[in-house]
C-alpha cells in the first residue's frame, strides 16, 4: 500500500463499476413481483430479528445470506473501540452529518445528479438528514456490526435500495404527453416526472458507482474523524484507525469493493483527497441542495443569532474553499461572535464529558441520555422519520402486458412509481 494506491486511472475506472450481487437481486425481485413480501421481510429483519424466516422468498434469502457475511479481516476490538468513540462524541453526530458529511457529498460533480433527482422528488432536505442519521446510528450502535446486528441489517437494506435506484435510473420510463405527465401546481412529482425531465448522461459514469460509494463512505468515516478533531476532540491515532475500521466494515456490507478500502486513517485521508481532486466541482444542483440543507437546520434553531450557527459551523468543518464552491455565505464578523462562543463552550463541555467518560459512569449516562433526547425531538418533526426506510416499490407487476418476458427492458414505467416514496 503506497501513497499512489488510488491512481486517477483506477478511480476513473471505478465510475463504470456498480454492485453485481445487489443489482442481480433487484432485477430478479422486479421480475418475480415479490416486492410486497420482500418489504415485509426487510421491515421485520431491520427490527432486530436474529434468524432468517423459513417462508422468505428465495431471492431475498440468498441475498441476505450472502450480503450478511462479515469480512474476514474484521477486528472486533477495533469495532468496539470505534463504537465507544461514537458514543462518547455522539452529541456531535447530527451536527457533523448536516454541516460536514452531506456538504462534502454535494461536492461530487457527477455523483450529485442521483442526489438531485431524489431531492426534487422528495422536496425535503430534512428527510435526507434524518434518514441518513438513522443509518449512522444503526451502524455505530453497540453490537450493530455483529452477525444479525441492526447495523448489518440496515447496511443490507441501503445496499438493496441503491441497486433499486440504479435500475430505475438506467431504465427510465417512457415520456408521456406533457398535459398528462405534468403534475398539478404544488403537488409532489413522481419519479416518472423527474426522470422524464432529466435523462442520465453517460458522462456521469454509472449511477451510484464504486467511486461514488467509496467517496460517500469517506464522508462518514474520514470526515467524521476530521470534524471531531476540528471540534477539539484530540483523538489518538488508534482511535481514528478504529473509527475508520468500523466504517470499512459497514462499507463492505454496503457493497464497496474490499480491496479499495483504506487500511487506516492516514490512507482514508489520502483516498478522500484523491477522489475529491477528481470529482469536486461546483454545480447548480449542489448549491441548491446545500441551501435547502442549511434552511432545514436553521429551522430547528430559535430566532436570533443562533440561526447563523449552521452557516458558521459548516464553514468551520468543511473549510472556506469548499464552502465557497457550495455557496455557503461568509458571515460578517459581528454575526460570527455568538456562533464562535457557542462552539467554544461546546468544545469545553463535550470535551470534558469525553475526558471523564470512562472514569465517571453517570457522565456516560448523561451523554447518552442527552443524545437520545436530541434524536427523539428531531424525530417529532412532521414526516421526519420514515419507519419503513428503504422499502422497495410494491407496484412493479401491476398491469403487466401479456407478452412481458424481460422486465429490465420492457417495464420501466411500472417500476418507476412509488420507489422513493418508501426509500
Q: What is the pLDDT of residues 201-225, one digit of tens each?
A: 889 999 999 999 999 999 999 999 9
Decide: helix, strand or coil at residue 262.
coil
Query: Of all residues in the chain, what percent carry a pLDDT higher than 90?
Result: 38
The confidence band for 333, taking pLDDT boundaries of 50, 70 and 90, is confident
Residue 95 CB burial class (10 angstroms; 0-12, 13-18, ≥19): buried
Break the chain into its structural domains and give their ranges: 8-68+76-173+189-422
Mean pLDDT of 90-97: 78
Residue 41 zone, left/alpha/beta (φ > 0; ψ -120 to 50; rest): alpha
How far apart CA 323 and CA 318 sit, in angstroms, is 7
Phi, psi of 123, rounded to the nearest 5 degrees: 60, 20
Q: Which carries the bigger pLDDT value, residue 198 or residue 388? A: 198
Helix (DSSP H) and strand (DSSP E) numbers for the chain: 24, 0
The confidence band for 351, taking pLDDT boundaries of 50, 70 and 90, is low
What letter would DSSP give residue 280? B
Do residues 278 and 180 touch, judged by C-beta distance below 8 A?
Answer: no
Phi, psi of 254, rounded to the nearest 5 degrees: -90, 5
How far apart CA 212 and CA 22 sit, in angstroms, is 16
The confidence band for 252, taking pLDDT boundaries of 50, 70 and 90, is very high
CA atoms within 13 Å, Cβ hemisphere of 344: 6
Measuring CA to CA, how many Å separate 343 from each of 218, 221, 234, 304, 331?
A: 24, 22, 15, 16, 15
Strand partners, 108: 280
Mean pLDDT of 307-319: 91
The confidence band for 198, taking pLDDT boundaries of 50, 70 and 90, is low
Give residue-wise pLDDT tens across range 101-128: 999 999 999 999 888 776 654 456 667 7
* pLDDT recorded at residue 342: 72
Amino acid at each position: 500500500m503506497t501513497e499512489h494506491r488510488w491512481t486517477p486511472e483506477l478511480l476513473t475506472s471505478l465510475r463504470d463499476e456498480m454492485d453485481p450481487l445487489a443489482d442481480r437481486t433487484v432485477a430478479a425481485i422486479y421480475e418475480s413481483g415479490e416486492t410486497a413480501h420482500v418489504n415485509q421481510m426487510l421491515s421485520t429483519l431491520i427490527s432486530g430479528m436474529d434468524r432468517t424466516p423459513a417462508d422468505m422468498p428465495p431471492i431475498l434469502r440468498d441475498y441476505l445470506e450472502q450480503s450478511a457475511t462479515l469480512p474476514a479481516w474484521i477486528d472486533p476490538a477495533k469495532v468496539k473501540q470505534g463504537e465507544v468513540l461514537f458514543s462518547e462524541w455522539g452529541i456531535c453526530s447530527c451536527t457533523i452529518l448536516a454541516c460536514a458529511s452531506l456538504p462534502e457529498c454535494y461536492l461530487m460533480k457527477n455523483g450529485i445528479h442521483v442526489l438531485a433527482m431524489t431531492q426534487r422528488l422528495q422536496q425535503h432536505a430534512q428527510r435526507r438528514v434524518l434518514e441518513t442519521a438513522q443509518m449512522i446510528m444503526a451502524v455505530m450502535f453497540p453490537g450493530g456490526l455483529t452477525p444479525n446486528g441492526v447495523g448489518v441489517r440496515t447496511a443490507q437494506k441501503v445496499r438493496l435500495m441503491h441497486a433499486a435506484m440504479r435500475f430505475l435510473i438506467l431504465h427510465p420510463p417512457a415520456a408521456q404527453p406533457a398535459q398528462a405527465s405534468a403534475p398539478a401546481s404544488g403537488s409532489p412529482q413522481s419519479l416518472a416526472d423527474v426522470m422524464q425531465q432529466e435523462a442520465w448522461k453517460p458522462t456521469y459514469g454509472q449511477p451510484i458507482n464504486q467511486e461514488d460509494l467509496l467517496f460517500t463512505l469517506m464522508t462518514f468515516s474520514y470526515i467524521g474523524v476530521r470534524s471531531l478533531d476540528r471540534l477539539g476532540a484530540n483523538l489518538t491515532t488508534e482511535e481514528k484507525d478504529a473509527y475508520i475500521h468500523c466504517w470499512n466494515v459497514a462499507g463492505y456490507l454496503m457493497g464497496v469493493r474490499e480491496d479499495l478500502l483504506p487500511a487506516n486513517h492516514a490512507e482514508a485521508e489520502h483516498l478522500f483527497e484523491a477522489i475529491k481532486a477528481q470529482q469536486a466541482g461546483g454545480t447548480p444542483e449542489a448549491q441548491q441542495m446545500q441551501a435547502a440543507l442549511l434552511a432545514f437546520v436553521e429551522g430547528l434553531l430559535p430566532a436570533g443569532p443562533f440561526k447563523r450557527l449552521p452557516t458558521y459551523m459548516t464553514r468551520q468543518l468543511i473549510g472556506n474553499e469548499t464552502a465557497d464552491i457550495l455557496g455557503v455565505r461568509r458571515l460578517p464578523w459581528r454575526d460570527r461572535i455568538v456562533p464562535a462562543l457557542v462552539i467554544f463552550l461546546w468544545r469545553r463541555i463535550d470535551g470534558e464529558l469525553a475526558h471523564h467518560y470512562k472514569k465517571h459512569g453517570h457522565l456516560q449516562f448523561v451523554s447518552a441520555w442527552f443524545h437520545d433526547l436530541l434524536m427523539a425531538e428531531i424525530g417529532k418533526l412532521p414526516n421526519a422519520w420514515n419507519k419503513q426506510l428503504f422499502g422497495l416499490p410494491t407496484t412493479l407487476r401491476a398491469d403487466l402486458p401479456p407478452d412481458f418476458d424481460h422486465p429490465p427492458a420492457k417495464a420501466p414505467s411500472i417500476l418507476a412509481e412509488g420507489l422513493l416514496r418508501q426509500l
